[in-house]
Amino acid sequence: MPTDDQPSAGWLDGSQHLLPVRVYYEDTDFTGVVYHGAYVRFFERGRTDFLRLAGVSHAALLERPDPLAFAVTRLAIDFRRPARIDDALLVSTRYAAVRGPRLHIRQRLTRAADLIAEAEVEAVCIDLAGRARRPPADLVEALKRYFE
């Protein structure tokens, strides 16, 4: 149950993470339709909260003796239907695989039974100088049970 100091990070359902999001005025253009850039934020929240619930905190990754982060190197979004102000949406995230330094992620955004958008994401594990590196074994171990 979320509290004031611990807002909901969604939930894990098998190998996928589900995160409810609400469309606010700030997410829309002047017509009340979600601006295309807002979808990127919705998908980012889904990926981050998936990691959080899988036991991988971005803050903890930076505090490691071998600090690391992630950089998105590929993002392909297929827009299917418009989302609108006040819509209740659901972000579904699946971490498909880790290959070398790359994490492959599939995401969907739905409104009830309607598919709003789909995304294919490739994120690379990097050191703080921005060089690609393999994710450490403990990170892969925390995620591997969720891989498709």
**Local confidence band at 148 (pLDDT 50, 70, 90 cut-offs):** confident
- pTM for the full model? 0.92
Round to whole Å and give the CA distance between 63 and 14: 29
Arithmetic mean of pLDDT, 122-137: 96
Fill in the DSSP letter of residue 31.
Answer: T
Instruction: Give the CATH superfamily of 11-144.
Output: Hotdog Thioesterase (3.10.129.10)
Marked catalytic residue, from 29, 78, 86, 114: 29
| Short-list 14, 11, 13, 32, CA closest to 23 | 32
pLDDT of residue 117: 98
66 is an active site residue: no
Other CB atoms within a 10 A radius of the CB of residue 92 amount to 18
pLDDT in tens, 30-88: 999 999 999 999 999 999 999 999 999 899 999 999 999 999 999 999 999 999 999 99
pLDDT of residue 86: 97
The partner residues of 104 in beta bridges, in order of sequence, read 97, 122
Is residue 23's pLDDT more than 60?
Answer: yes
Ranges of each domain in the chain: 11-144
Using a pLDDT cut of 70, give the percent of the chain over it: 96
Mean pLDDT of the chain: 94
CA angle 132, 138, 140 (to 5 degrees): 60
pLDDT of residue 129: 96
